[in-house]
Amino acid sequence: MFGNEEQKRQYLPKLASGQWIGAWGLTEPNTGSDAGNMRTVAVLDGDYWIINGAKNFITHGISGNVAVVIARTGAPNQGQNSSAFVIEEGRLAF
């Protein structure tokens, strides 16, 4: 729903056909339901986002080809303080 056209063309056919498996990475240790207070933070550094943090309970977090990872880009417990990042296999650190 929120991806741009390039992202839709790149990912949806593979995910819809089952060629790729996707994951959704929101939950973190200690801040499961309290997502607005998550500790994973994304900071823009020039042309790159630097993401630091840890997730748990992520179905297909290891076996998936691509994950939508939610990270905090604003102050804790503020509205609209999080952003979604598409991260492909090989760029995920475990």
Residues that bind ligand FAD (CB under 6 A): 23-27, 32-34, 57-59
Q: CB of residue 24 vs ligand FAD: minimum separation in angstroms? A: 5
At residue 35, φ and ψ (nearest 5 deg) are -65, -30
Contacts of 48 (CB under 8 A, 6+ apart): none
Nearest-CB residue to ligand FAD? 32
In angstroms, give the least distance from the CB of 36 to ligand FAD. 11
Q: Closer to ligand FAD at the Cβ: 44 or 76?
A: 76
N-to-C CA span, the chain: 28
